[in-house]
């Protein structure tokens, strides 16, 4: 999953990004003014936007209205010091999906972000099961049958994205757009390398799950019947 944080307090933005990466395995981009934030939100298919309201150049509510007018459906969590009931009502009525006021607890922010992402992918249950494979998105634990599987951060990120879309073909472009932020190290066969690592760790131990390559189209994770 890939998140955009639009926040003009640079240190706070970095702390939020760090927490989202470490505690939720999300790819994260940061914009520190509203103009950049709006441009970025409209040009990249984010899974979630964390949006401050008082921003230089373009305010958060204006960004929100513009996104919704243009038909952008990305979930938006407003994170702001504007904490009156009227502010909250206005934020939600402008098209935000959640509203948190500063100061805030970082753990609560992460949990709310995870809940919004689950809903986007129509998976309200934080535990996703496929065959004998089970992915707990709250604790980021992966089990195959009874056995816990240790994955590297990027392998987990890839598996979570694939399993949320189980049965659908996921293109390499979608994987790059949804799992890599601008800071991410990327090389030409990066997706193939991580897919191959995932297959080795998971699928060789499983009789019931397979990650298939659909030539020219992408990858699909699915349950295999006997
Ligand atoms: Ca601000």
Residue 35: per-residue pLDDT: 98
pLDDT score recorded for residue 102 = 98
Q: Specify which residues 77 forms β-bridges with.
A: 50, 98
- List, for residues 21-54, the tens digit of each pLDDT value: 999 999 999 999 999 999 999 999 999 999 999 9
**Cα of 136 to ligand 1 centre, how many Å?**
34
Could you tell me the distance, in angstroms and rounded to a whole number, from the CA of residue 41 to the centre of ligand 1?
Answer: 17
Cβ-contact 72, 41 below 8 angstroms: yes
Distance (Å) from CA 177 to ligand 1 centroid: 27
Three-class secondary structure assignment of 85-117: HHHHHHHHHCCCCEEEECCCCHHHHHHHHHHHH
Q: What is the pLDDT of residue 226?
A: 65
- pLDDT, tens digit (0-9, with 9 covering 90-100), for 116-133: 999 999 999 999 999 999
CB-proximal residues (5 Å) to ion ligand 1: 8, 52, 54
The angle formed by the CA atoms of residues 169, 225 and 137, to the nearest 5 degrees, is 55
Q: Give per-10-residue mean pLDDT for the chain (226 aa).
A: 98 98 96 98 97 98 98 97 98 97 98 96 95 95 93 95 97 95 83 94 80 95 86
Give this prediction's pTM: 0.95
Quote the pLDDT of residue 186: 73
Ligand 1 centre and the CA of 70: distance in Å? 24
- Going from the Cα of 91 to the center of ligand 1, the distance in angstroms, rounded, reads 15
């Amino acid at each position: 999953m890939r998140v955009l944080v639009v926040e003009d307090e640079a240190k706070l933005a970095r702390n939020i990004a760090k927490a989202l990466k470490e505690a939720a395995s999300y790819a994260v981009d940061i914009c520190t003014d509203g103009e950049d934030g709006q441009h970025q939100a409209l040009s990249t298919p984010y899974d979630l936007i964390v949006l401050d309201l008082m921003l230089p150049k373009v305010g958060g509510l204006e960004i929100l209205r513009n996104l919704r007018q243009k038909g952008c459906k990305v979930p938006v969590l407003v994170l702001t010091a504007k904490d009156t009931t009227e502010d909250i009502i206005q934020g939600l009525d402008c098209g935000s999906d959640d509203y948190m006021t500063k100061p805030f607890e970082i753990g609560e922010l992460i949990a709310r972000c995870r809940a919004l992402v689950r809903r986007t992918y129509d998976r309200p249950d934080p535990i996703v099961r496929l065959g004998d494979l089970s992915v707990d998105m709250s604790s980021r634990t992966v089990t195959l049958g009874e056995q816990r599987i240790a994955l590297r951060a990027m392998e987990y990120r890839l598996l979570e994205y694939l399993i949320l879309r189980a049965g659908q073909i996921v293109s390499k472009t979608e994987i790059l757009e949804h799992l890599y932020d601008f800071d991410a190290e990327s090389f030409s066969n990066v997706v193939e390398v991580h897919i191959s690592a995932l297959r080795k760790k998971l699928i060789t131990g499983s009789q019931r799950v397979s990650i298939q390559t659909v030539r020219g189209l992408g990858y699909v994770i699915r349950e295999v019947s006997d």
